[in-house]
Structure 1
Amino acid sequence: MSTKYSTIIIDDEPPARDRLLKLLGNFPETFHILDVAKNGREAKQKIEASNPDLIFLDIEMPEVSGFDMLKRLKTIPIVIFCTAYDQYSLKAFETNSVDYLLKPVSLERLQQSVNKLKLFSKNNASQNILELLTELSLQKEVKKMTSITVKKGEKLVFVKLEDVSHFKADERYVSVHANNDNYLIEEPLSQLEQKLPDNFLRVHRAVIINTEQVKEVQKYFNSRFVITLNNKKKSSITTGRSYNEAVKIWINI
């Protein structure tokens, strides 16, 4: 007799959730769908309330990533990661005996996950997830940037990240605000975000701040915040609503 897993699907994109729900319908003897969640905060609440055996978890979500959500759980269920990005260390996923699905998920690949579930136990899977998160964190530390290269006239200038107060996207360029100077780079903010160390936090669709250069944080309407930076201009940044949860985690409220 096959094991049936109580399951929650976590993804911020409705089409992705709907597609996965439809595909899982091909395996009624394996999955019992308890619920779906559209972000990390909602997922944490539903996981703690229903204690599922298994979750399908999107990695890249606004506010709280799939990895960050897992770190906040007291008990981690079996996890099958779903991602549209292949820049993560997929080898690490394999060696830690947890599974991942690249979007768009296919029925054939999902069948492989079902077969692999027979090798899992809930306790071992939880330990494997913790080991994976530790390994990915160590990889991030190894690759951590300490400076960024910018153009100044005909010269290349190396700007120390500790001197950068924030990055701000504007049309096709990103401005680097460091000390009393501003520089322009063409690298998209989303790519830059992946490489920056943990003290840099995206607080708006167009802004990443250096949290070590924050002077104060004040509450604003619609549950947003106004962040004042400690640079010469005392730059004021209003957070975007979709990034509020990440800001709350950072300031620990």
Structure 2
Amino acid sequence: MIRCVIVDDEFLARERLKKLLAEHSDFEVVAEAKNGELGVEVIKIKAPDVVFLDIQMPDLDGFGVINNLDKVPHIVFTTAYDHYALKAFDVHALDYLLKPFDEDRLSDTLELVRDRIASDQSSLLASQMKSLLKTFDESKGKFRRSFLIKEKGFENEVMVEEVIYMEAQGNYVKLVTEKKDYLYRIGMNVLESELDPMHFMRIHRTYILSKQWIEKQSYQGNNEFKFTLRNGAVLNSSRSFKKHIAEHSTDH
């Protein structure tokens, strides 16, 4: 729905425009104002998509309304005086309706409004998507993506998403995957700091779990939890990690 505000000091002009807009189901008049000062107020409150704005009004003219707005919506000027046309487009008005305009002329304007709003929404969506992708790329660069395992003179890259859980074993960590287990030399505290907390959770000084592999999580009392993983492994948390688990886990 395209939200509209009408600002015009002539009552009959406002009523006629509302009647014409009612014929277009995707346009909704959310407010109207009988002068420029009230127009500024309702535009700030309602934040419409488009304003049908008379230019010549006694207290504050259409250009004055625009000058008093922090955020200017799309503007369609409506006026009986064609000598304002050039100035109207100088302030980037979307269109200029010369009174008395007919239904066909208004329909052309509304089509222009639709196209511009659709273009704005497309640009906003593209901008949001670009920002999301940038955040995702930054996140990927921030956290560990793989482990380079050296075995019998060969190097094997194990991606973090392959790991079901990790278990501390002295100066090493055992990486448990569906295919096999690997030993990787690293401390658990260092490893935890390198893993994305959106996907991994430490439940014990000995264990870090992949959240996507948790099948069931149940409270055992005494601030301890039991985690059943999809590969059949059952691991218990320690009391000291209760707060950490509450902050990072989801119900399963």
Give TM-score, length-normalised by structure 1: 0.44
RCO higher in 1 or 2 (8 Å CA, sep ≥ 6)? 1
Q: Whose Rg is larger?
A: 2
